[in-house]
Structure 1
Amino acid sequence: MPDIEPRVSASGACKANGLVLCDDFEDASAGGAPNPQTWSVQVFQQQGRISIDGTQAHSGSKSVYVNGTGQGSYRSVLFTTTYPFPSPNNSFYTRVFLRSKNGMGEGHSTYFGAGSGDNQRMLRIGFHQYVLEANLIHPGTEYEVLSGPWGQPSQGVQLQAGKWHCVESFFDGARHELRAWFDGNEVGGLHTTNWDKNLTSWSPRYARAWFGFETYHGEQDELWYDDVAIGTQRIGCDG
């Protein structure tokens, strides 16, 4: 595995131990794209857009604005890190501060994920049935776990419209495990090792990670991302 050169901005939001990438977007120009040395932008079928916003931020004065309000049942508006995978032991932590204009809907959409270089295996975190969820794209099938009981959204984890939330994850490819935290608290329903299907050896060989809005059932939203980080240990919501 090649040595990993950390790419960490200087703000207080990027001061945690073990960081290999952290971007507060303060060095980017409002109205422009995220730093192309760290991120590549994908807008599927030109539906939606991604740009630096100087009016909303979790820290500092800027964030990444993701407009996912294009037409159609499938839309993908993503910014993908150029972090030099593979990770040590095929495992890494992420942390993102996320703000949603509309909150979560009934359909199925993704806020961030990671997967193999050929996109045949992916682990995605987003929402389904109004609650935070995770799902695995595995050759030939798909698996899902929810943060609350199906059809009872008040018992699951939800983004509040117009509020910044801290979402963390641990993609543990070495032990085929996923963990997630919301505003500092672990989401027990998303902690999985077998997807409730006795599945083993399911983790992708992680080669890419992305953030943005990918929707499959026509949901629409506008999102802001800030203080996006990848690390070798849990990052937390303070640094």
Structure 2
Amino acid sequence: MRSATDIQMGHNTYVAAGTDTGDPNAGEYVRIGEHQCQLELNRKSDDKELLSNGGMYMCSGGVKLVKDTWYCLEFSYDGPGKEVRVFVDNTEVPALHATDWGPYEYKIFKLGFEKYHGAEKTIWYDDLALATEQVHCQ
């Protein structure tokens, strides 16, 4: 993925897995996106959030996606196993590894910028793959 702007302070989503039909207000959603100028993992039901800097709510540290740069964003959702993992350019982001989120039965995956707070953003996605195991970046 690539963005026209640097990662923002506002809370927004790049990709999500949901347990319902696609209505953002129904079921559970586990979302990967941005908050506090870094990559984050967020759960809709209780708004639990993992920040890539380890949990400090400030724009320092963490994984920062800079504008006009292509990144390989990989994620693994294991609903029954209660696990979510996030990788950027083949490297796992340890602070975004959740082992107690669920169990969920995911029925939908959403790609695209979903804005909650902050400015509008243009994001490009390329070479999408959906698989049962890690594909790895080429």
> Fold-level match, TM-score > 0.5?
yes
- Asked if 1:181 corresponds to 2:87, the answer is yes
**CA pair 152-137 structure 1, distance change in 2 beyond 3 A:** closer
- Asked if 1:156 corresponds to 2:62, the answer is yes
Can you list the C-alpha shifts for 1:57-95, whole angstroms capped at 9, x where unaligned? xxxxxxxxxxxxxxxxxxxxxxxxxxxxxxxxxxxxxxx
- Asked if 1:219 corresponds to 2:119, the answer is yes
Identity among equivalent positions (%) equals 38
Counterpart Cα distance in 1 of 2:5 and 2:17: 24
Contact 1:109-1:219 at 8 Å conserved across structures: no
Aligned match of 1:143: 48
Shift of 1:212: 0.5
- Asked if 1:116 corresponds to 2:19, the answer is yes
| Of 147-156 and 120-129, the range deviating more from structure 2 | 147-156
Larger radius of gyration: 1
Amino acid at match of 2:20: G
Shift of 1:117: 1.9
Counterpart Cα distance in 2 of 1:127 and 1:227: 21
Q: 1:205 aligns with which of 105, 111, 115?
A: 105
Contact 2:13-2:34 at 8 Å conserved across structures: yes
Shift of 1:152: 4.3
Amino acid at match of 1:112: V
Amino acid at match of 2:50: V
Q: 1:132 aligns with which of 18, 39, 43?
A: 39
TM-score, length of structure 1 as denominator length: 0.53
Shift of 1:218: 3.2
Structure 1's consecutive aligned runs of 4 or more residues displaced over 2 angstroms after TM superposition are 151-154
Name the SS of the counterpart of 1:181 in structure 2.
Answer: strand
Shift of 1:174: 2.1
Q: 1:193 aligns with which of 86, 99, 106?
A: 99
- Asked if 1:99 corresponds to 2:2, the answer is yes
Counterpart Cα distance in 2 of 1:194 and 1:153: 26
Counterpart Cα distance in 1 of 2:103 and 2:127: 26
Which structure dedicates a bigger proportion of its chain to helix? Answer: 1
Contact 1:115-1:121 at 8 Å conserved across structures: yes
Name the SS of the counterpart of 1:230 in structure 2.
Answer: coil
Question: Cα RMSD (Å) of the superposition?
Answer: 1.4
Name the SS of the counterpart of 2:109 in structure 1.
Answer: strand
TM-score, length of structure 2 as denominator length: 0.90
Is there any run of 5+ residues in structure 1 with no aligned partner, and where? 1-97, 196-201
